[in-house]
Structure 1
Amino acid sequence: MNLIRAELLKIRSTSTWWIFLLITLPLWGLTLMFNGFQSAYLLSPEAAEGMSGEDAEQIIAAGDPANVAANLYTNGQFFGVAIVMLLGAIVVTNEYFHQTVTTTFLTTPHRTRVVLAKLFAASVFGLVLWVITTAANLPAGALIMGANDEASYMGDGTVWRAIALNGLAYLLWAIFGVGFGVLIRSQIGATITALVLYFAGYIGAAIFFGVLSDRFGDWFNNLQLLVPSLASQLMVSGTELPGNPPQWAGALVLIGYAIVAGTVGTLLMRTRDIS
């Protein structure tokens, strides 16, 4: 517990937390604006006009009010989990950047405890950011639903399941970030690599599976959940969309990645020379 308190103090007593918060707020506002326009389109009767087959089914399913509400109440996840991932990496790389890692391990020779404390501290920050964004999403989402003559759907179980899974995604991406920080000790190298892999992986995988899924069928399209950023997006869908894997599959994939990242990070930190 002393180690956990120390790690939380490192985040709380430096400019790290509010810098990340200042970055998150405008990104949250931009995604809310985009989701607001998208919601108005999906909820309109003309959304599926002129479409047929699977395209029409996808639009109709996405336009289900429960799906639209779930998307609004989990607004900001795409950038939010990236911010959490960066903080997780910085929690580790700060030790090397400020050359305090030797002191840390001399004070606490049991390195596994240090890594676990960093994982816990990063996860707490991830959950705090989830709470903040969710607290802002609930009234904003309800207003957007009301503006489109729809109920808030706050009593719908699928909506709250999406919100809960969104919290799990924030927690797991924090663990990924710590894993990146252990693998790449350079602060600049770890943050840039993590961002490039996150955004390039998301865009590249979306294009790749979008182009080839029509050729190979649903089984190939379902492989998109192996990409972490796409798996976390899948977790917050309100109800299962046609041709997409279920929410729980995305959650299991992310949990698996988090376990691997946490285990590998701990083993590397235990054996790596820090001098």
Structure 2
Amino acid sequence: MNLVRSELLKIRTTSTWWIFGLITLPLWALTALINWLQTDALANSDFGEMSADQEAQIEASRAVESLAANVYTNGQFFGLLIVMLLGIIVVTSEFFHQTVTTTFLTVPHRTAVMVAKLVAAAVVAMLFWLATTVLNLIFGALVMSSVDLGSQLGSGAVWRATALNGLAYLLWSVLGVGLGVLIRSQIGATVTGILLYLGGAVGAAIAIGILANRWGDWINDLQVLVPSLASSLMVSGTDIPGNPPRWAGAAVLIGYAVVAGAIGALTMRRRDIS
């Protein structure tokens, strides 16, 4: 516990956490506006004639459970990126400020230091999730009422999506710490993390769509292997036809986090830090 408190103190006594907090708020507001417009369009628009597969996907997306889960997990896309970057900085700041040698001289058990950093990053990630969840409960109730669907706060799908959203925040903080251990340069790890996250969300989605048109719809199931897409999948209120099941997204993300944490711990134990 002393090690965890020490790591939390390092975070709390720097400007990093509140700078990321200030960045998170406008990004949350932007996605809130987009989700409001999207919810209104799905709830009230007539999409005309379309193929049977497209109609099934639209109907699943405009289901009350799916709409509610989407607005009550608002801000996830940028929120997960923020907590991943915080996880990276928890590790790389030690190398950037050249305090890592002092840390390991004080606490020679490197695995314990790694675990403390993982726990500290997870605690901060949970605080970010809690803050955005409070905002979402207010915002989501207003949006759902505006489209005459009620708040849906009594729906199990809403609370399940909210809890899985918290799990996603936790797992992405672990992924950030693991990446920070592998790439000790703060700038290098940050840029790599952003490229992997955004590239995975946008680039992989485009590539999978192109390949699916050429080789068949089974290619769409591969999107679950992309961490940023798996995160979105796991908080959907209902299973969308043509997409992998929600539990698969959670399982894949947990697998990535376990591997990242294990590799990070082994790397920190064996790597020369002089």
For the aligned pair, the TM-score class normalised by the smaller chain equals over 0.9
Task: Please name the residue that 1:178 is paired with.
Answer: 177
User: Kindly, what percent of the aligned residue pairs are identical?
Assistant: 64
* Aligned mates of 1:43, 1:254 — CA distance in 2: 30
In structure 1, the gaps of 5 or more residues are none
* Aligned mates of 1:22, 1:103 — CA distance in 2: 31
The Cα of 1:42 is off from its aligned counterpart by 0.4
Residue 148 (structure 1) aligned with residue 183 (structure 2): no
* Aligned mates of 2:161, 2:247 — CA distance in 1: 10
Structure 2 length as normaliser, TM-score? Answer: 0.98
* Aligned mates of 1:109, 1:35 — CA distance in 2: 48
For residues 43-82 of structure 1, the aligned pairs below 5 Å read 43-46=43-46, 48-82=47-81
Task: Please name the residue that 2:9 is paired with.
Answer: 9
Give per-residue Cα distances to partners, 1:7-30, cap 9 Å, x unaligned.
011111111110000000000000
Counterpart residue type for residue 175 of structure 1: V
* Aligned mates of 1:45, 1:205 — CA distance in 2: 29
Counterpart residue type for residue 165 of structure 1: L
The Cα of 1:45 is off from its aligned counterpart by 4.5
* Aligned mates of 2:105, 2:187 — CA distance in 1: 25
The Cα of 1:31 is off from its aligned counterpart by 0.3
* Aligned mates of 1:217, 1:230 — CA distance in 2: 19
Task: Please name the residue that 1:265 is paired with.
Answer: 264
Task: Please name the residue that 2:82 is paired with.
Answer: 83
Counterpart residue type for residue 22 of structure 1: L
Task: Please name the residue that 1:168 is paired with.
Answer: 167
Task: Please name the residue that 1:209 is paired with.
Answer: 208
* Aligned mates of 1:243, 1:158 — CA distance in 2: 20
Counterpart residue type for residue 9 of structure 1: L
* Aligned mates of 1:168, 1:216 — CA distance in 2: 33
Give per-residue Cα distances to partners, 1:42-74, cap 9 Å, x unaligned.
00151x323232111111110011100100000
- How many pairs does the alignment contain? 274
* Aligned mates of 2:213, 2:159 — CA distance in 1: 32
The Cα of 1:218 is off from its aligned counterpart by 3.6
Counterpart residue type for residue 82 of structure 2: I
Counterpart residue type for residue 151 of structure 1: G
In structure 2, the gaps of 5 or more residues are none
* Aligned mates of 2:249, 2:117 — CA distance in 1: 25
Give per-residue Cα distances to partners, 1:238-261, cap 9 Å, x unaligned.
010111111111000000000100
The Cα of 1:214 is off from its aligned counterpart by 3.4
* Aligned mates of 1:240, 1:214 — CA distance in 2: 21
Say what the alpha-carbon RMSD is for the aligned residues: 0.9
Structure 1 length as normaliser, TM-score? Answer: 0.98
Counterpart residue type for residue 34 of structure 1: I
* Aligned mates of 1:117, 1:218 — CA distance in 2: 43
Task: Please name the residue that 1:158 is paired with.
Answer: 157
Counterpart residue type for residue 67 of structure 2: V
Counterpart residue type for residue 35 of structure 1: N
Give per-residue Cα distances to partners, 1:141-198, cap 9 Å, x unaligned.
1101111111111111111111111000000000000011101111111101100111
* Aligned mates of 1:172, 1:273 — CA distance in 2: 27
Task: Please name the residue that 1:240 is paired with.
Answer: 239
Counterpart residue type for residue 86 of structure 1: L
Identify the range of structure 1 (205-214 vs 219-228) with the bigger mean alpha-carbon deviation: 205-214
* Aligned mates of 1:190, 1:84 — CA distance in 2: 14
Residue 197 (structure 1) aligned with residue 196 (structure 2): yes
